[in-house]
Amino acid sequence: MTLNFALNGRKLSREIAPDETLLQLLRDCGMHSVRSGCDTSNCGICTVWVDGKPVLSCGYLAARVEGRAVTTLEGVKDEAEALMRCLAAEGADQCGYCSPGFLMCALAMFRELENPGDAEMRAYLAGNLCRCTGYASQMRALAKYAEGRRSK
């Protein structure tokens, strides 16, 4: 079937299988930031935005994005950079494999919530698992990033 959608602001028309996942489609489109982690919609690694909302691309049928706007980390690199630098300074990336999904959910959170505190951030990001860091460094980085946003 033919799928028409916008990827990071660019209109695309592609042939897809009806049971193709958004994850497969995006990787085929060269979006290397989109990675699989668990296959059961539990880990958050494959997070992308559909119409601005974070979703799990491993469980999202590609067919469903017909006419919608899909955003991956490649499409919000500039917006992500400050947060990435905060994470790097804390050493909060470690293996880095879960980072793009985490960044996509965190950026969505900062767009959605005015001034989230630690508990609110933990709740919003609970679906992003990380096995390396123990999360504390990520939370420190988020707090510093949020502080930087406030002082702007």
- In the region spanning residues 80 to 99, those forming contacts with another protein, defined by CB under 8 A, are 80, 84-85, 87-99
What is the β-pairing status of strands 69-71 and 2-7? parallel
CB atoms within 10 A of CB 110: 18
Residue 13 DSSP SS3? strand
Q: Which 49-68 residues touch another protein, going by CB under 8 A?
A: 53-56, 58-61, 63-64, 66
Please tell me whether residue 33 binds another protein under the rule CB under 8 A. yes
> C-alpha angle 48/80/43, rounded to 5°?
40
User: Among residues 7, 43, 70, 146, which is the contact residue for another protein, using CB under 8 A?
Assistant: 43
Pick the closer one to another protein by CB: 77 or 149. Answer: 77
CB 121, min distance to another protein, A: 9
Closest separation in Å from C-beta 113 to another protein: 11
Nearer to another protein, 127 or 143 (CB): 127
The secondary element (H helix, E strand) that includes residue 30 is none
CA 113, CA 75: separation in Å to the nearest integer?
A: 21
Size of the site for another protein (CB under 8 A): 76
Residue number, 12 or 88, with CB nearest to another protein: 88
| Both tokens assigned to 24 | 């497969």
Query: In the complex with another protein, which residue's Cβ is closer, 11 or 21?
Result: 21
* Residue 122: how many other CB atoms lie within 10 Å: 14
Query: Taking CB under 8 A as the criterion, which residues in 94-133 touch another protein?
Result: 94-100, 103, 105, 108-109, 119, 122-133
Q: What is the DSSP letter of 69?
A: E
